[in-house]
Structure 1
Amino acid sequence: MNRLLWCLFFLAISQSIYAQRAGIYQFEKNLEEESGQFPALKVLKEAGIFQEDVLPELKNAKRSVYVFEKNYGLQFDNRAANGFLRDSYTIEIYFKFSALDSWKRVIDFKNRKSDNGCYIYDGKLNFYNFALGTRAPVRANEYTHYVISRNGKTKQLKMYVDGESKVEFTDQNDEGVIDEDGVLNFFHDDLIVKEEASAGAVALIKIFDYVVEPTEVKKSYLKLNESVLKKPTVPSVATSPPLANPPPEAKTPAKAADLPPKEPSLVLSGQVQNETTRKPVKQPTVLVLDKNNTEKQRLQGTDDGLFKIAFEVGQDVYFMVEADGFFPTSIHYTAKELTEKSKNGTIFTLKPVTISESIVLKNIRFVQGKPELLPESEEDLNRLWLFMRDNPAAEIELHGHTDNLGDFDLNLALSRQRVESVKAFLVSKGIASQRISGRGFGSTRPIANNNREETRPLNRRVEFVIKKLK
């Protein structure tokens, strides 16, 4: 009987030791964990500020959030938490980034010693360099419910946005596990590759020492108002009470002729900056295009890279931005994004061109196994054409690459044929053929994991190297 009691006692002790726990950070004007059982988050680089912000998924309620500048991140000290975060975990974040124009780091497990980790890339969730998800509802200056979980036994790592699974892969090399430094970094990335962080704001971080099931992840998103808002809040926009006796005409639907006139134009102000130095680009050219790449407006920026353009309300807008000595860039704003940008301004960045530097044309796509260009390639092809047109002395070398599916020699030949397809496009637009040379590398120079279907397309690409500029 005594032995049975001892067994029950030790069983109770073991269950309490391994009970599932969660640390919750609400950012109510401090970086403390709400239960007091876990360490406060540490500031990386410089401290941000606490301010009230509108949380649209919470019925536009206002709440305290932590606002950080680019590369001013936060750190969870797992050593101070006695190794709380192990190889099985779930991390839930409700946050927003100000810029999503390139790779933006969300979570770093290796304390800035590796480029691998969680990013948002071109609206897609990405665990570099192992998995790339489909496009997710992640937009600049809009809050996102973001979750990553890892099962220590199966090593399955999953990433979610707004309750929906977007990435799943087997983390064989423990890239998603905290290393010997014992820290977890958020929003901070400045050692391996520069400019891979964004300013933004965070309203909630939860860290669980277990895997939260997909159904619970979905519930957590659907019940954000319960988990993020701990007390009643006042809507950010006051509404007038309904009239007790509305006039008769208020009950009759308005006819088209009775509708108010169209809203006044929006004015978008901004600056064009050097992507590398973040300094203003002198006298950039900003083109406004329609969805068919037909030019609608063209204006010249100032010596400080400043510009201002007026638009009608309710339209999508496509931009092409150029400047001498830089590679053109293209930007698309939805009508909603344009309205938001008109309030706060925007920044366009241009990549300076450098002799012998390889530039990846990210959106050039081909028919599977063939050299034929797909229609979605037109935007990047036009950018390359504009560069060649505006830099008449420039000479380039195109590099073709494939994934590793199929025969090696056939892939090598295919990469050369794809180079010729891009060259033919440029020649058809008036670029002299002698200014364009090319090489095919087949599958010999991958930039992404060839073992996953999600990342394999990144290896089917065309790059170009500037051989001569002036």
Structure 2
Amino acid sequence: MNRLLWCLLLISTTIQTNAQRAGVYQFERNLEEESGKLPPLKVLKEEGIFQQDVLPELKNVKRSVYVFDKNCGLQFDNRAANGFLKDSYTIEIYFKFAALDSWKRVIDFKNRKSDNGCYIYDGKLNFYNFALGTRAPVRANEYTHYVISRNGKTKQLKMYVDGEAKVEFTDQNDEGVIDEDGVLNFFYDDLIVKEEASAGSVAMIKLFDFVVVPTEVKRSFIKLSESVLKKQTVAPITVAPAPLPVAQTNPPVVANERSLKETSLVLSGQVQNETTRQPVKQPTILVFNKNNVEKHRLKGTDEGLFKIAGEVGQDLYFMVEADGFFPSSIHYTAKELTEKSKNGTIFTLKPVMVSESIVLNNIRFAQGKPELLPESAEDLNRLWMFMRDNPSAEIELQGHTDNLGNFDLNLELSRQRVEAVKAFLISKGIVDQRISGRGFGSTRPVANNNREETRQLNRRVEFIIKKLK
């Protein structure tokens, strides 16, 4: 009998230790969590109002919702909640946006310090800048059942609309994890790119400290009326023992039919303006293998859409160009390429403007010398392509160093490094008169010189566009 009691006690303790927790915000004229165990949501910027709204998916009933203005959202204080949301979680929202004419922020994990996070873009779910889903039933002024979950062990991040998975990718860099600020922002614009927020209203937010399996996400959507219209305790939901594969559909793109028949992997995506997030018209995408041999060259659509054929198990290198933009280079490992082929990808291009400064972060020199290292080839070729494709452009190269060593020697070294880059461009056929140069030594740091990790940012070459047309 004693042994039986001990076993029962052990089982009970284990269940309590591994208990799954959930918090529910119903917006019944307040921002409180219904159990009182989690902190109330905080208002970001201007306070919204509570009003009765019709919920069409719930038999057109009326209930209280929280209405927020453009760029005025809500914040969950994870620190005040004692780290309730960690690297494994599920977030469920029932809300609507008034406008979906461009990028609209849904969730921000980095407290406005990063542009990465959850968006709705042109009716598609997007975790910028890692995965873009297919078109979903998301429309302006209509309520949407929106779910995002992340498995801390596998780092698999999934996004759902109306119970259906639309995006899935491996969040290797923890972009979907709350950072040291300890807050989660809803519906609020960031500080990087403006005008990416919409007015709207929210009827429910649920937070789970575990991964809700796809079948339960579907069931939650089907039983929305029970969740939204009735106050009830959230029952524990089974955690998936392993991530379940979800069939994905690639975004509509331009296909290379002959290549598709010969290969077994297809990468679909869109090229976008890095500043505005708008599609780049008719970009050119060049595809290389690891030996720098060109495999494909294709033209995107007026909407910046493309489809690239590849082979499973091979790395690919991309160079993306478009009129009015600085070329961009991207490398996907075989593993990354397989992942991206399931969900689609986004390439961004930086627009070029007169007086615009562009940093060439990957130009590398021998220690204390002006000799270019082999790893500089990629950025050097990008600069050459820009000069080749914009024959009227004139640039000024600017060299910079960290603050180690003699000031005057650093100043001279920065000038010599500028001359090395200029010599490369001339060797590729660019006319000398189109390139001027200056060395600034250690006088214009962009990062702290106290640590090697940040000193590297100061050892750089930039260029300023002096004339474009």
Tell me which interval the TM-score lies in, with the shorter structure as reference length: 0.5 to 0.7
Q: CA 1:160–1:303 in 2, change beyond 3 Å: closer, same or farther? A: closer
Match of 1:464 in 2: 463
Which residues of structure 2 form unaligned runs of 5+? 1-18, 27-31, 49-70, 91-106, 118-127, 131-153, 158-168, 197-206, 211-235, 246-260
Which whole-Å CA distance do the structure 1 matches of 2:311 and 2:450 have between them? 47
Q: Please point out which of 165, 170, 174 is paired with 1:142.
A: 170
1:229-254 CA-partner distances (Å, limit 9, x unpaired): 9845355559xxxxxxxxxxxxxxxx
- Is contact 1:287-1:320 (8 Å) kept? yes
Alpha-carbon separation, structure 1, partners of 2:362 and 2:352: 19
Which secondary structure does the structure 2 equivalent of 1:348 belong to? strand
Instruction: Note closer, same or farther for the CA distance 1:72–1:369 as it changes in structure 2 (3 Å cut).
Output: farther
Whether 1:350 aligns to 2:349 is yes
Supply the AA of the counterpart residue of 2:37.
Q
CA-CA distance at 1:353 after TM superposition? 0.4
Q: How does 1:222-237 map to 2 (within 5 A)?
A: 231-233=238-240, 235-237=242-244
Distance 1:263 1:308 in 2: 14
What do residues 357-410 of structure 1 show as CA deviations (whole Å, max 9, x unaligned)?
Answer: 101111111122111122211111111111111111111100101111111111
Q: Which moved more, 1:360-369 or 1:436-445?
A: 360-369
1:184 Cα shift? 3.6
CA distance in 2 between partners of 1:117 and 1:301 (Å): 25
How has the CA–CA distance of structure 1 residues 462 and 106 changed in structure 2, closer, same or farther, with 3 Å as cutoff? Answer: farther
Structure 1 CA distance for aligned equivalents of residues 37 and 450 of structure 2: 41
Map of 1:39 onto structure 2: 39
Is 1:26–1:34's contact at 8 Å kept on the other side of the alignment? no
* CA separation of 1:186 and 1:452: change in aligned 2, threshold 3 A: farther
Corresponding position of 2:362: 363
Alpha carbons of structure 1 residues 26 and 428: separation in structure 2 relative to 1, 3 Å: farther
Tell me what 1:76 maps to. 76
Deviation at 1:105, TM superposition (A): 7.8
Partner of 2:339: 340
3-state DSSP of counterpart to 2:395: strand
Where in structure 2 are the equivalents of 1:268-307 lying within 5 Å? 268-307=267-306
Looking at structure 2, the residues matched to 382 and 354 of structure 1 have their Cα atoms a distance apart, in angstroms, of 20
State the shift of 1:194 in Å. 2.3
| Distance in 1, Cα, partners of 2:262 & 2:325 | 37
The alignment's TM-score, normalised by the length of structure 1, stands at: 0.55
Identity among equivalent positions (%) equals 66
CA distance in 1, matches of 2:437, 2:428: 18
Amino acid at match of 2:240: T
How much does 1:193 deviate? Answer: 3.0
User: Partner residue of 2:321?
Assistant: 322
Q: Does 1:392 align with 2:396?
A: no
Unaligned runs of 5+ in 1: 1-23, 47-70, 97-103, 124-136, 148-158, 162-175, 206-228, 239-261
Corresponding residue for residue 107 of structure 1: 110
The aligned residue for residue 65 of structure 1 is none
User: Cα distance 1:146–1:325, how it changes in 2: closer, same or farther (>3 A)?
Assistant: closer
1:415 positional shift: 0.8
* 1:139, distance to aligned residue in structure 2 (A): 10
* CA-CA distance at 1:270 after TM superposition: 1.6
Task: Specify the SS of the correspondent of 1:448.
Answer: coil
Q: Which moved more, 1:364-373 or 1:318-327?
A: 364-373
- Give the Å deviation of 1:279: 1.6
Aligned CA RMSD, in angstroms, stands at 4.6
* Alpha-carbon distance in structure 2 between the residues aligned to 1:384 and 1:465: 12
Alignment coverage as a number of residue pairs: 312
Give the 3-state SS of the residue equivalent to 1:455 in structure 2.
helix
Asked whether the 8 Å contact 2:281–2:303 carries over to 1, the reply is yes
Q: TM-score, normalised by structure 2?
A: 0.55
Q: Is the 8 A contact 1:273 1:350 kept in 2?
A: yes
Please tell me the residue identity of whatever aligns with 1:341.
K
Q: Which amino acid aligns with 2:362?
A: N
Deviation at 1:334, TM superposition (A): 1.6
Give the letter for the 2:264 counterpart: S
Query: Which residue is equivalent to 1:309?
Result: 308
Q: Residue type of the partner of 1:387?
A: F
Cα distance between partner residues in 2 of 1:408 and 1:370: 15
> In 1, Cα distance between the equivalents of 2:424 and 2:264?
38
Superposition deviation, residue 434 in structure 1: 1.2
